């Protein structure tokens, strides 16, 4: 996990909640154009905050969080929009709701890996209920789009 080195070097994002296709905040990233969206997962834990959005931690190697690897056409603009939505003000800023970090992502289709930015809870343990399944859509009720 890496915090904020050269944001322009990695142009993909792992999203696991309201930024996924079919979810309420997907337009935040989609308005910057999407080159590709692929089903993917990372090692971590997912929590329902009770506020209509999830939070993820990277604390457990034996848990999986399911989501999407997205590649926006304008990755820098998409990052700025997502930073604003996720209340990310910079590495370690006291006002951060989330931290933006680099993670290794596994693609569901073929098991290959990629590096991507994602947003993790800025607290050690997020408030709310742990989602053992690692699937936000089981809470949101949104069906995954056909790929």
Q: Give the model confidence (pLDDT) of 127-141 as tens digits.
A: 678 999 999 988 766
Q: Which of 45, 86, 89, 99 is catalytic?
A: 86
Which two three-digit tokens encode residue 15?
Answer: 């999203």
Whether residue 84 lies in the annotated active site:
no
| pLDDT of 2 higher than 50 | no
**For the chain, which domains are there?**
2-140 (3.10.490.10)
Give strand pairing partners of 118: 101
Give tens-digit pLDDT for 42-94. Answer: 999 999 988 899 999 997 668 999 999 999 999 999 999 999 999 999 998 99
DSSP E strands in 1-143: the ranges are: 2-3, 13-15, 34-43, 45-48, 54-57, 64-72, 98-107, 113-121, 129-131
R_g of the chain, CA atoms, integer Å: 14
Q: What percent of the chain has pLDDT over 90?
A: 70
Q: Among 5-9, 16-20, 91-95, where is mean pLDDT lowest?
A: 5-9
Is 53 strand, coil or helix? Answer: coil
- Give the number of C-alpha atoms closer than 13 A to the C-alpha of residue 34, restricted to the C-beta side: 16
What pLDDT is stored for residue 144 in this prediction?
Answer: 53
């Amino acid at each position: 996990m890496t915090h904020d080195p050269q944001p322009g070097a990695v142009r993909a994002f792992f999203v696991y909640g309201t930024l996924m296709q079919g979810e309420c905040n997907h337009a935040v990233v989609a308005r910057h154009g999407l080159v590709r969206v692929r089903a993917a997962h990372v090692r971590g834990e997912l929590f329902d905050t009770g506020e209509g959005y999830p939070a993820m931690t990277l604390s457990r190697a034996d848990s999986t969080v399911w989501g999407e690897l997205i590649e926006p056409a304008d990755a820098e603009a998409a990052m700025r929009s997502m930073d604003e939505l996720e209340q990310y003000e910079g590495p370690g800023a006291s006002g951060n709701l989330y931290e933006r970090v680099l993670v290794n992502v596994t693609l569901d289709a073929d098991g290959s890996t990629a590096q991507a930015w994602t947003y993790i809870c800025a607290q050690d343990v997020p408030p709310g209920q742990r989602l053992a399944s690692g699937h936000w859509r089981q809470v949101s009720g949104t069906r995954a789009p056909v790929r």
